[in-house]
């Protein structure tokens, strides 16, 4: 078995045991990236030289016994909306195409402390707005399982990079499903933590009340280990929560006896692809056999999550993206007359169509006369959705459902009809509104060979329950992460 097919924890162990060096690992990943990038395009920036240099420094610290953690020396990739000091951080947008931040995001600092060798920045939907990674200014990322299909989005670059073995793990961000849906499409494990678990300091905001940084990994154990390094109470983020128990790897136990699992009827009914539905029912059956209590229930309000989400996310985005104005950083139009014309030209040339669409919708729903009807209505709906989840978690420990209505669509199919694309977020956005943790885990493939992902949703701060259920499933099935044919490169 080659180095590339190891999991992050397996690789780190070999590095600690001096079987492999961090430098060799970094070079192997870079070589793989060079081989597959023309086809997949996971990265916006691949920092070859810097990565090797950092690997050397980290290798030295490992040899000196300074770095002994379970992920030390492992090459990783970071979504391009997380700031790294001095390194291009573009959000896959023209408006930030030349932007080098002056500080590093806390989530990145945390993995750096654990000995991550950061290889580069991964492609995404522009400002994380999209479900396919096709809205990137730098062109789309393709699904390593079939390059004619999208990898999902917005963390499509991170998920494709892990799937195509261009890194051992990656950081993504999830505002309405942006980790879970592409993880499902790319056949990798992705986790969106409880709101407040991972610092947002240095994450370039889309919807501030919904955004969370989280891991994209090859398996559940890696995912738990990465989350353990990511989670921290950060005084620079006022919404950061001080959590007592963040030893997520303690939950890697194959045991679901007595675990109460609920499947919302609306999550497996109309609109769900039959193959995905069947895969989910198979998962449910397996977990039931292992001693879990599984039943269907009525979550209610499911269809209201998307409209509420798009009102809130667009409103916050319209405000968060106001700072991109050609004054302090980033792109400025070359030719303008006066201040307001400079603003308008810079922003019109700097943002792509999907970003403009959401900025305009957000500005409209907040504007005088519409605030109550749209924005407050959406915040009230959010309160009701949170209540619906609270009621569900009185009866269940975990909610099981799909991560997306289908497997990955073909390139070019989704952007034609934005509303239809938004409807694809039906199973993921409610989780962000309620601030809950949720996880996407590979659950087989469809008849075309495209990965199917299941989603596990937990109550606030109950990531461990999700990890336990996912780990049990993973142990019982053959590990679902399989090198995709299209991602095959150097090995």
Partner 1 sequence: MSNKISDETIEYVGILSKLELSGEEKEDAKADMEKMLDYIDILNELDTDGIEPMSHVFPVNNVFREDVVTNGDNREKILENAPLRKDDSFEVPKTIG
Partner 2 sequence: MNNMGKQYETVIGLEVHVELATKTKIFCGCSTAFGGAPNTHTCPVCTGQPGSLPVLNKQVVEYAMAIGLATNCEITRVSKFDRKNYFYPDNPQNYQISQLYLPIARNGYVEIESGGVPKKVRIHEMHMEEDAGKLIHDEWDDTTLVDYNRSGIPLVEIVSEPDMRSADEVISYLEKLRTIIQYLGASDCKLQEGSMRADVNLSVREAGSTQFGTRTEMKNLNSFKAIARAIDGERNRQIELLEAGKPVIQETRRWDDNKEHSYAMRSKEDAQDYRYFPEPDLVPIVISEEWIKEIKAKQPELRSEKLERYKREYDIPQYDAEIITDSRIIADIFESAAALCGKPKKVSNWLMVETLRLLKEHNMEPQDIRFSPGNLAKLVDLTEAGTINSSVAKEVFEKIFADNTDPERYVEENGLKTVNDEGALKSVIEKIIADNPQSVADYKGGKEKAIGFLVGQAMKAMKGKANPQMVSQMLKQAVTESDS
User: Which sequence positions are flagged as catalytic?
Assistant: 79, 154, 178
By CB under 8 A, residue 97 contacts partner 2: no
DSSP, res 207? S
For the segment 98-117, give every residue that binds partner 2 (CB under 8 A): 99, 101-103, 105
**Binds partner 1 by CB under 8 A, chosen from 226, 434, 441, 467:** 434
E strand map for 257-344:
260-264, 293-297
SS3 188: coil
Cβ count within 10 A of residue 97: 16
- What values do phi and psi take at 169, rounded to 5? -160, 170
Which of 384, 395, 410, 412 is in the footprint of partner 1 by CB under 8 A? Answer: 384
Alpha-carbon distance of 159 to 352, in angstroms, equals 22
The nearer residue to partner 2, 239 or 477, going by C-beta atoms, is: 239
Which residues are CB-neighbours of 176 under 8 A, at least 6 positions away? Answer: 207, 210, 309, 313, 425, 428, 429, 432
Residue 416 interacting entry, from partner 1, partner 2, none, C-beta within 5 to 8 Å by type:
none
- Residue 357 interacting with partner 1 (CB under 8 A): yes
- Tell me which of partner 2, partner 1, none is bound by residue 332, counting a contact when its beta carbon lies within the kind-specific cut-off of 5 to 8 angstroms: partner 1
Task: Choose the one of partner 1, partner 2, none that binds residue 96, judging by a C-beta under 5 to 8 angstroms depending on kind.
Answer: partner 2
Per DSSP, helices labelled H in 129-267 are 156-163, 180-186, 220-230
Exactly one of 237, 273, 296, 476 binds partner 2 (CB under 8 A); which one? 237
- Cβ contact 115:458 at 8 Å: no
Q: Of 51-59, 214-222, 365-373, 397-405, which part binds partner 2 (CB under 8 A)?
A: 365-373
Q: Binding of partner 1 at residue 14 (CB under 8 A)?
A: no
162 CB burial (10 A radius; 0-12, 13-18, 19+): buried
Q: Which structure tokens are listed for 452?
A: 């199917």
- Is residue 156 at the binding interface for partner 2, with CB under 8 A as the rule? no
Residues between 166 and 195 with contacts to partner 1, criterion CB under 8 A? 195
Nearer to partner 2, 91 or 223 (CB): 91
**H/E element, 106:** helix 106-113
Site string for partner 1, 114-153 (x = CB under 8 A): ----------------------------------------
Q: Give the separation between CA 171 and CA 75, rounded to whole angstroms.
A: 12
Buried residues in 428-438 as b, exposed as e (16+ CB within 10 A) = bbbbbbbbbbb
Least distance in Å: CB of 209 to partner 2?
4
Question: For residues 387-416, which are near partner 1 according to CB under 8 A?
Answer: none
- Residues 186 and 162: beta-carbon distance below 8 Å: yes
Q: In the complex with partner 2, which residue's Cβ is closer, 350 or 424?
A: 350
| Cβ at position 326, least distance to partner 2 in Å | 10
Q: CB–CB of 318/362 below 8 Å?
A: yes
Residues 6+ apart with CB under 8 A from 325: 343, 346, 347
Q: Which among 336, 346, 404 is positioned nearest to 151, based on CA atoms?
A: 404
Q: What angle do CA 45, 46, 47 make, to 5 degrees?
A: 105
Confirm if 454 and 188 have CB atoms less than 8 A apart: no
Residue 310: contacted member of partner 1, partner 2, none (CB under 5 to 8 Å, by partner type): partner 1
Token readout for 67 is 């770095």
- State which of positions 366-405 bind partner 2 (CB under 8 A): 366-368, 371, 375
Candidate list 347, 445, 464, 468; residue touching partner 1; CB under 8 A = 347
Instruction: Give the binding site for partner 1 (CB under 8 A).
Output: 99-100, 102, 195-196, 209, 235, 238-239, 241, 301, 303-304, 306-308, 310-311, 318, 322, 325-332, 336-345, 347-348, 351, 356-357, 359-365, 367, 374, 376-384, 386, 418-419, 433-435, 460
Instruction: Give the binding site for partner 2 (CB under 8 A).
Output: 82-83, 89, 91, 96, 99, 101-103, 105, 200-205, 207-209, 235-239, 315-316, 318-319, 322-325, 327-329, 339-340, 343, 363, 366-368, 371, 375
């Amino acid at each position: 078995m080659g180095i590339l097919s190891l999991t992050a924890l397996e690789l780190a162990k070999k590095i600690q045991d001096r079987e492999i060096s961090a430098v060799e690992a970094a070079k192997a990943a870079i070589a793989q990236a060079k081989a597959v990038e023309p086809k997949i395009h996971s990265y916006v920036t691949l920092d070859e030289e810097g990565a090797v240099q950092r690997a050397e420094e980290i290798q030295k610290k490992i040899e000196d016994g300074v770095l002994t953690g379970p992920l030390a020396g492992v090459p990783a990739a970071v979504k391009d909306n997380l700031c790294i000091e001095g390194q291009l951080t573009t959000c896959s947008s023209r408006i930030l195409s030349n932007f080098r931040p002056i500080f590093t995001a806390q989530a990145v600092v945390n993995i750096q402390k654990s000995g991550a060798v950061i290889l580069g920045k991964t492609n995404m939907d522009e400002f994380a707005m999209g479900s396919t990674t096709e809205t990137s200014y730098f062109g789309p990322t393709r699904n390593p399982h079939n390059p004619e299909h999208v990898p999902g989005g917005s963390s499509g670059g991170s998920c494709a990079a892990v799937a195509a073995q261009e890194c051992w793990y990656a950081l993504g961000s999830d505002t309405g499903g942006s980790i879970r849906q592409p993880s499902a499409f790319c056949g990798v494990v992705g986790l969106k933590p409880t709101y407040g678990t991972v610092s947002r300091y240095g994450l370039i905001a889309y919807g501030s009340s919904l955004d969370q940084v989280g891991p994209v990994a090859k398996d559940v154990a890696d995912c738990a280990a990465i989350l353990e390094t990511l989670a921290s109470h950060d005084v620079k983020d006022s919404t950061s929560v001080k959590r007592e128990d963040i030893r997520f790897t303690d939950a890697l136990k194959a045991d679901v006896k007595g675990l109460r699992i609920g499947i919302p009827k609306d999550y497996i009914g109309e609109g769900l692809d039959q193959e995905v539905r069947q895969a989910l029912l198979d998962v449910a059956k397996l977990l039931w056999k292992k001693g879990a209590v599984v039943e269907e229930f009525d979550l209610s309000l499911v269809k209201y999550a998307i409209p509420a989400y798009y009102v809130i996310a667009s409103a916050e985005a319209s405000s968060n993206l106001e700072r991109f104005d050609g004054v302090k950083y980033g792109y400025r139009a070359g030719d303008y007359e006066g201040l307001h014309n400079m603003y308008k030209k810079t922003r019109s040339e700097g943002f792509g169509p999907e970003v403009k669409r959401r900025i305009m919708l957000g500005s409209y729903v907040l504007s005088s006369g519409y605030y109550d009807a749209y924005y407050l209505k959406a915040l009230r709906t959010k309160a009701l959705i949170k209540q619906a989840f609270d009621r569900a978690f009185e009866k269940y420990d975990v909610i099981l459902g799909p991560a997306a209505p289908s497997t990955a669509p073909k390139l070019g199919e989704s952007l034609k009809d934005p509303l239809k694309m938004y409807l694809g977020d039906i199973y993921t956005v409610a989780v962000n509104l309620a601030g809950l943790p949720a996880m996407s885990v590979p659950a087989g493939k469809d008849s075309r060979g495209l990965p199917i992902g299941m989603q596990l949703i937990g109550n606030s701060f109950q990531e461990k329950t999700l990890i336990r259920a996912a780990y049990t499933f993973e142990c019982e099935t053959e590990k679902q992460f399989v090198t995709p044919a299209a991602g095959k490169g150097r090995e």
